[in-house]
Structures are given as C-alpha cells and as structure tokens.
Amino acid sequence: MAGITELAEGAVAEWYNDVVQRAQLADYSPVRGCMVIRPYAYSVWESIQRWLDDRLKETGHQNAYFPVFIPESFIQREKEHVEGFAPQLAVVTHGGGEELAEPLVVRPTSETIIYDAYARWVQSYRDLPLLINQWANVVRWEIRTRLFLRTMEFLWQEGHTAHATADEAVTEARLILALYVKLIEEQLAIPVLQGRKSPKERFAGARETYTVESLMRDGRALQMGTSHDLGQNFARAFEVWFLDRDGERRQPWSTSWAVTTRLIGALVLAHGDSKGLLLPPRVAPTQVVIVPIYRSDGQRQAVLARAGELAAELRRAGVRAQVDGREEVTPGFKFNDWEMRGVPLRLELGPRDLAAAQVVAASRDTAEKQPLPMAELPVRIPQLLETVQAALFQRALEFRAHHTYTAATLADLAALDEQPGFYRMNWCGGGACEDRLGEYKATIRCIPLDEEEARPTGNCAVCGAAGENSVWVAKAY
C-alpha cells in the first residue's frame, strides 16, 4: 500500500482530502466546517446503519427521535456536562424575528433532553430497562475541521439507556462496545484496541468511558466509537426516580454510546493507497463493476448485452454489481476511475472473453488478474469478495503489529515523529504525568480492558513512580 506511510503529515492531509473528493464521498459546504455527504459515501453509511440497527433491535433496543433544539437550562443541569461541551455549543437566541425567552442549544448530544423525558417515562422497576437509540445529526462548534473526521455537523446513532442497577448499566455499556468491535472489525475490516479512557479523556458527565481505537495508515490513532457508563449523574440532574421491587424509591443507572460518520473517514485512512480509496466488500456500494471492452459497433452490442446478463446474475446471487457502459471514456480511464473509488473487484469482458465464456477478474487490493468461467461467477465472486474482506483485515492487523512499540521513558515518545504508531507505556495514573505526554502531541488512547494486558510491567515512564496501569499512547486525530 505505497503512497501513504511515506508521506509527511501535511501531505497525508492533502492526499486524504483529494481521495475524499475524487472518490465522490463528500464535498465542502458554504458553511465553514460542514460537509455535503455525497450518495457514494451515504450508501456506505447506510450499510453501517443497517448492520448496527439490526443488531441493536436484536438486543432489545428501540429507535426513537428527540428534538434537535435543547433548552439552554437543560445543558446547565449537569456540571461536568456543561463544562465539557460549553466551548462547542451552537446557541439559537432569536426565532421568528424575536428574541427567545430562553436560548436554545443545537443538539451536541442528547443526554439532557432525553433524561427530561425519562423523568416522565420511568416510574417503576417495570419500566426498566429502557433501551432507546436514535439516528440523528449533531452540531459541535469545532475550530479545526476535516471532512468526516471532525466536522461541525455530523451524523451518528446515540443510544441512551436506563437500568435498575449499576451492574446492569455496566453490562449494557460493555455489550454495546462488543457490538462496535464486531461492526468495525467484521464489516469495515479495521482492527481495534478496546479499553477505558483515562479520567481526563472521559465523556463529560460519565463515570467510565469505554472506547475502541484503531491505527490509521499514517500511524495516527483514531477513536472509532465510545460507550459510556453514566452512573446516576443524569438521573440526579433530571430527578428521575422509580419504585423498585421492595417499594423503595431509587434512581436509575444509565449509559450512552455512539458511532458516527467518522467511520467513513477511517475507511479512507485505514485502507486507502496511492490509487485512492479501497473499500471492504461488505460495505462497498458497488462490489463488482463490469467493464465492457470492444472495438466496433458489432462487438459493442454483443459485449454489452452479455455484461448486462452477468450483472443481473450476480445481483440475484446477492452481489452489488453494475456495468460501466459509458461511451465517452476509454476502458483504461474506467479502470483508474473505479480503482480510485475503491470497488473491490473489476470484471473485464471483451470479444475474446465472450468466445471463451469467461471474464478477467482484477482485485483492487492486489491488482492480480485471473480468468473466471462465466458459469461459475455466481459462486466464485462471493468467495472472492470474502477473500478480499479477510485480506484487508489481515493487512491492517499486520500493519498495526509492525507499528506497535514500547515507551520505557517519556523521552522514548520522541520517536513518534519518525516512528508513529501505538506505544505501550506504564503509567502511575497521575494527571500531571498524562499532561506531559502533550510535549510530544500524544495522548493516552486507552487503558486495556483485559486485566492482564492492563497490568503494569514496571514504573511510570514519566515520573518513575510505581505503575498503576499499562496504557496505549499515540498521536491521534
């Protein structure tokens, strides 16, 4: 996958923006920091949405929708929450030509307005657990933006659940984290590290934040999704009470969790190369493109007709296939165009292939070509797509392994510029030591969930005191 890891930081940003636009994933909006999600990328988002929505419903969650406008006083009710989000809020002060009696915040996240509703909906232990998810947009007033990775408005799903006990809430938060792992690894072919955020990096108002972190091809980490154990903080702030089985009045324990359209940016950075985008077959809008090749009108009719038949056969076999019948461009242009857009498999079909009852299949990930009998396509193509899916994940896994290091001292992080990646480091748990990582523009990405993996192997790499945890450190988006 040449062409990314060798690029300087500024060049990676230029390459990324170029791929996003040339592959027709997104375009810039006249509003600074916002983007237009084009149909090609929205189709990827729909694949993510369908997979996750099905799994959430299988586990008892229901979809709902809450208003995009939130009374400013709601945000103020939970102290940590308002402190965490205040710099990012977009506030509406006028409507209908008049000043509003109370300013409205454009939704940055929905805990507050949802818990206002939960205060009415939750009265008894019989109302619990309450498992609600919504697919929505949110607005956060970001200063530095980049298409998909960090924009002022983005799409996401946000789950908000209420439970009778603390243990049930923790189980819920970990269940969702496991779903995110399956989504990212099995659908997007991107390996993740699972862990807990440090207190400094937790979600505003959370008791614990669980995270999945991945390594991009330039050696930077990207937070792929989070699941929060909110304790009873929002229940207290919004006075949510219920009568338990013993007739005691108690407050529920809650969680919230989300993944966003940032995952589309992750696909570009995790799998893209010098040719452009490279999409895992399971989320690719077009899994197979058939490129007809002919020299005369006589050949054209026969080749196009057979190409259409093959595409229909593949679609009946569950493959997202299409024919590129454009007349104004050459086959070579089409090859490059579909490689830029990351289509996993290309089938070339010409007069000689018709005579031999075969196509020539080219894999986007390896550029290898092989002849395939037409009669076998409905069986062979799905198999090839699964091979590509597995190969992309394995390659990303090997890349992460080759870019995983140990930092025995703070000075070892100086290698991050020349040798970017995940660094394993012992940490005392102190905020001052965590702050010092900023000298190298690094952050603690997570404390591993696995107890053995989280056990320190020595003293804190920063201060030399006894280690409390072994943590993963990296530069991040």
Query: Over the chain, what is the mean pLDDT?
Result: 96
- Predicted confidence at residue 408, as pLDDT, reads 97
Q: Which residues pair with 260 in a beta bridge?
A: 156
Percentages of the chain per state (helix, strand, coil), in multiples of 5: 40, 30, 30
Entry field: residues in the chain: 477
Give one DSSP letter per residue of 244-266, joined into a string.
-TTS-EE--EEEEEEEETHHHHH
Q: What is the pLDDT of residue 7?
A: 65
The CATH number given to 9-271 is 3.30.930.10
E strand intervals along 64-169: 69-71, 90-95, 98-106, 130-139, 153-163
Dist CA 214 CA 87 (whole Å): 27
**pTM of the entire structure?**
0.95
Burial class (CB in 10 A: 0-12, 13-18, 19+), 32: exposed
**The residue type at 48:** I
Outline where DSSP puts E strands in 176-320.
193-196, 208-215, 221-231, 242-243, 249-250, 253-260, 288-292
Among the CATH numbers 2.60.120.10, 3.40.640.10, 2.30.30.90, 3.30.110.30, which is that of 404-474? Answer: 3.30.110.30
Amino acid at site 365 = D
And the tokens for 330?
Answer: 């050459």
In CATH terms, are 288-384 and 404-474 the same topology? no
Residue 66 CA to residue 4 CA, distance in Å, equals 41
The identity of residue 411, as a single letter, is: A
Contact 222, 214 (CB under 8 A): yes
Domain boundaries, the chain: 9-271, 288-384, 404-474
Question: Homologous superfamily of 288-384 in CATH?
Answer: Anticodon-binding domain (3.40.50.800)
Q: Are 353 and 307 in contact (CB under 8 A)?
A: no
Question: Vertex 103, ends 98 and 106: CA angle to 5°?
Answer: 110
Q: Tell me the pLDDT band of 236, cut-offs 50, 70 and 90.
A: very high
What confidence tens digit (pLDDT) does each residue in 105-142 have? 999 999 999 999 999 999 999 999 999 999 999 999 99
**Of the candidates 253, 230, 251, the residue with the CA atom closest to the CA atom of residue 241:** 251
- State which amino acid sits at residue 346: R
Q: For the sheet containing 358-363, what is the strand order?
A: 321-323, 288-292, 345-349, 358-363, 369-373
> Model confidence over 36-95: pLDDT tens digits?
999 999 999 999 999 999 999 999 999 999 999 999 999 988 777 778 788 899 999 999
pLDDT digits (tens, 9 = 90+) for 328-369: 999 999 999 999 999 999 999 999 999 999 999 999 999 999
